[in-house]
Structure 1
Amino acid sequence: MADQRAELTWTEDQIPVSDRFDDPYFSLQNGLEETRHVFLAGNDLPVRFAPGFHIAELGFGTGLNMLTVWSEWESAGHTTPLSFTSFEAYPMEPEDMARALAAFPELAPWSERFLAQWQGGTCDLGTLRLQVVEGDARQTLPAWLGSADAWFLDGFSPAKNPELWGADLMQHVADHTAAGGTAATYTAAGFVRRGLEEAGFSVTRTPGYGRKRHMTSAVKP
């Protein structure tokens, strides 16, 4: 397990905020709907679901994105496993995950199954094969042997966590994306879009969720 763990402060409405990056883990308005808008719709999911589909993510956080897409996978009738690989530098303790995820009772059937088995690292949940790679993604992603059909780029704000959004890391994302694969993120920061374009993605700025005017979707030709 990683030596460094997530350091949290909780808002009055029980949203975890990273002390290290001074940024909430999910939308102050509705984290579940934000995930659906940004990461599912931004990657044209669940329409693209197919057996063997693999999602990768920068920033596991509370596990909200994983649980949201896993629930959609099962709701779409898939019985084969969805693969989900996430790169996380500062893992959250399971009890903190449970406290945060309690805000989303709609996901309880999945969060309860996940939390009952989760001990870090890898987890086989039948219709979900999860791997959380702990450590700095700038070192761990280049060494990864996998390839994703869709990426969830969900690090903390680029202004507060720039190391997770640099051009070199975006190139590694592209290098680990299948042909025709996609990426989506809540940010529309110019240097992030440029990094994705330089890495070979076709990048589109689209309407963001809630107070965010724009977000970014990308496709690897």
Structure 2
Amino acid sequence: MADQRAELTWTEDQIPVSDRFDDPYYSLQNGLEETRHVFLAGNDLPARFAPGFHIAELGFGTGLNMLTAWSEWEKAGQTTPLTFTSFEAFPMEPGDMARALAAFPELASWSGRFLDQWQGGRCDLGTLHLEVVEGDARQTLPVWKAEADAWFLDGFSPAKNPELWGADLMQQVADHTAHGGSAATYTAAGFVRRGLEDAGFTVTRTPGYGRKRHMTRAVRK
């Protein structure tokens, strides 16, 4: 288990900002729309959803990305479990999660079910099998035994949290991606794109969300 928890400051608009990385947990403009644009559309979801689909993520944060994906999974008529694995070094307290997620009433049905059961680690919510692996992803991902169909690369800004975007970790992401699988991230930083390319992804720079001009989509060759 991680020995450190998330340390937060809240903006006037009730958006959590990491004290450690001096970076907001999601877009100051609309976190839900950012997730849909970057991580769902960036991975061609929900069109690719199928029984047994597995999403993995770097940076669990508030759980917003997971809840958005889970809601779309159910809306798409999927009845088998979506598997979602997230790697998180500094877990957020459930009370802080609830405070952050209250900003997204569209997700209230899913966030309520999640928060009612969430105590860290694993959580079986019927149509969602969630595991949050606590600790430094540079140590925990290499020993992970599974593969993901889609990756949400959602660490804090590469300029402020470069450890979560290094070439070695991008290689681990590729090594834990199914053939034909994908990855998406809000950043278009050159060293991140090069790391993904060197790891074996075909990388495309596409329009970003909000104030971000570009984002990155990647498909494993």
Query: 1:102 maps to what in 2?
Result: 102
Identify unmatched segments of 5+ residues in structure 1: none
Query: 2:128 maps to what in 1?
Result: 128
Query: 1:173 maps to what in 2?
Result: 173
Identify unmatched segments of 5+ residues in structure 2: none
Following TM superposition, by how much is the alpha carbon of 1:83 offset from its aligned partner in structure 2, in angstroms?
0.1
Query: 2:13 maps to what in 1?
Result: 13
* CA–CA distance in structure 2, aligned partners of residues 92 and 143 of structure 1: 23
* CA–CA distance in structure 2, aligned partners of residues 2 and 137 of structure 1: 11
User: Does residue 183 of structure 2 align to residue 183 of structure 1?
Assistant: yes
Following TM superposition, by how much is the alpha carbon of 1:127 offset from its aligned partner in structure 2, in angstroms?
0.1
Following TM superposition, by how much is the alpha carbon of 1:3 offset from its aligned partner in structure 2, in angstroms?
1.0
Query: 2:152 maps to what in 1?
Result: 152
The CA RMSD over aligned residues, in Å, is 0.3
* CA–CA distance in structure 2, aligned partners of residues 76 and 27 of structure 1: 25
Which secondary structure does the structure 2 equivalent of 1:115 belong to?
helix
Following TM superposition, by how much is the alpha carbon of 1:103 offset from its aligned partner in structure 2, in angstroms?
0.2
* CA–CA distance in structure 2, aligned partners of residues 4 and 130 of structure 1: 21
Q: Give the percent of matched residue pairs that are identical in Structure 1 and Structure 2.
A: 88
Query: 2:93 maps to what in 1?
Result: 93
Equivalent AA in structure 2 for residue 23 of structure 1:
D
Following TM superposition, by how much is the alpha carbon of 1:33 offset from its aligned partner in structure 2, in angstroms?
0.1
* CA–CA distance in structure 2, aligned partners of residues 200 and 44 of structure 1: 19
Following TM superposition, by how much is the alpha carbon of 1:2 offset from its aligned partner in structure 2, in angstroms?
1.6
* CA–CA distance in structure 1, aligned partners of residues 125 and 153 of structure 2: 23
Query: 2:210 maps to what in 1?
Result: 210
Alpha-carbon deviations, 1:1-55, whole Å to 9, x = none?
3210000000000000000000000000000000000000000000000000000
Query: 1:71 maps to what in 2?
Result: 71
